[in-house]
Amino acid sequence: MKIAIEHPFGKKMRIHERLIEATLFGFALLSIVITLGIAIILIRESYLFFSDPEVELWGFLTGKEWQPMIGRFGFLPLLNATLTTSVIAMALGIPVGLFVAVYLSEYASDKTRGILKPVLEVLAGIPTIVYGYFALTFMTPLLRSIFGMETVQIYNTASAGLVIGILVLPMIATMAEDAIGAVPKELRLAAYALGGTKMETTFKVVIPAALSGLSATFLLALSRAIGETMIVALAAGAGPNLTFSPFEAAETITGYIVRISGGDVSYNSVDYNSIFALGLILFLITFTLNMISRKISRMFHQEYE
């Protein structure tokens, strides 16, 4: 005869525990919903944009003129301005940010670090609109007094680019310092033992060893620079302009989106749909950069573990 034993300590089905877990899981799933929402909305509105008889995909990708008023939809001028500001930003941000990181992790005393780290944190915490104001009221007049009023226009991509460089500087410095700090001490000691100077150790051993982490940092900074909006909206100028001169006004992708949506734009117009098409391109560019950056940084995490 079998005796059924009611086990007092067995695992109970606790309904409210399950319910809580399910709710929390739902919250976590919401992040996927947001991503899907972004993708669906950008693709849907872009589809409406490209199905407009005035717009064709090839002309969009290769056209040298962006004048929605007269039906010209070539996005090269906007892309060109975005790349100009980003390249200028990187030209300032990467070397300075990297050198600050090297100084902080290899040279600075603990006391200096204690002063400098908060400075970087403050720089990183200032809203971008403040940087935009800085570009307009400080950087542009500075450039104009250096290069001449005739060469440098009131709105120009150089000023916006340089200030974006300042904006991404603390981010580059902090992340690069982490990457450099992750290089094992043994590598440095080995280099010193072979007679390397501090500078030689830094450039020939530490930086190459941290290269994957550093490139991940730079890609993320580039993505940030491409997506930066308020600085270019204030300082780079309104109106698409295909130019390679950094001293001329030229509107970037983000600058255009902000200008059009800031005005009174009616739904279902080509203008309205065009900001989503440009948003899609922006999303694809930054998303790709972020993914590559993550891939690289994961490689680097495995390297020394």
Partner 1 sequence: MNDMNGQTAFGLASDVSSLMEKRRRNGLVWHIVFIFSTTLAVLFLILLVFSIIDSVFGYAVLINDVEPSALVAGKESVTDFNRAELENVARTRLSAGILRRVEYDKPIAERSDKDLVSLVEEYVVKPKVLKTWGFWGSLTERKAIETYIGENEGSYATFRSWLTPSFIMADQSADPLRAGIRTALLGSLWIILITFVFAFPIGVGAAIYLQEYAVDNRLNRMLQLNIFNLSAVPSIIYGLLGLAVFVRFMEPVTSGSFIMGTVDNTANGRTILSGGMTLGLLVLPIIIINTQEALKAVPDTLRMSAYGVGATKWQTIWYQVLPVSVDRILTGTILALSRALGETAPLVVIGASTFISVDPSGIFSKFTTLPIQIYQWSARPQGAYRNIAAAAIVSLLILLLLMNSTAIYTRDKITKKKRLEA
Contact with partner 1 (CB under 8 A) among 3, 7, 10, 14: 14
Binding to partner 1 by CB under 8 A, coded x per residue (else -) over 89-108, reads ------xx--xx-xxx--xx
Q: Which stretch, 60-68, 145-153, 179-187, 285-293, contacts partner 1 (CB under 8 A)?
A: 285-293
Q: Does 87 bind partner 1 (CB under 8 A)?
A: no
Q: Does 10 bind partner 1 (CB under 8 A)?
A: no
Closest C-alpha among 86, 48, 58, 36 to residue 282: 86
Closest C-alpha among 37, 83, 79 to residue 62: 79
Q: Does 34 bind partner 1 (CB under 8 A)?
A: yes
Closest C-alpha among 294, 143, 171 to residue 228: 171
Distance between CA 48 and CA 55 in Å, rounded? 10
Distance between CA 79 and CA 84 in Å, rounded? 9
Q: Does 122 bind partner 1 (CB under 8 A)?
A: yes
Q: Does 261 bind partner 1 (CB under 8 A)?
A: yes
**Least Cβ distance, residue 3 to partner 1 (angstroms):** 26
Burial 121-153 (b: 16+ CB within 10 A, else e): eeeeeeebeebbbbbbeebbeebbeeeeeeebb
**Number of residues located near partner 1, criterion CB under 8 A:** 84
Contact with partner 1 (CB under 8 A) among 60, 209, 224, 237: 224
Q: Which stretch, 55-63, 65-73, 179-187, 252-260, contacts partner 1 (CB under 8 A)?
A: 252-260
How many Cα atoms are found within 13 Å in the side-chain-facing hemisphere of 98? 19
Q: Which stretch, 64-72, 135-143, 186-194, 239-247, contacts partner 1 (CB under 8 A)?
A: 135-143
In the structure, how many helices (H) and strands (E) does the chain have? 14, 2
**Least Cβ distance, residue 161 to partner 1 (angstroms):** 14
Distance between CA 162 and CA 85 in Å, rounded? 8
Contact with partner 1 (CB under 8 A) among 68, 181, 227, 239: 227
Report yes or no: 252 and 164 within 8 Å, Cβ to Cβ: no
Q: Does 79 bind partner 1 (CB under 8 A)?
A: no
Q: Does 35 bind partner 1 (CB under 8 A)?
A: yes
Contact with partner 1 (CB under 8 A) among 5, 28, 146, 193: 28
Distance between CA 172 and CA 177 in Å, rounded? 8
Binding to partner 1 by CB under 8 A, coded x per residue (else -) over 155-174, reads -----------x--xx--x-
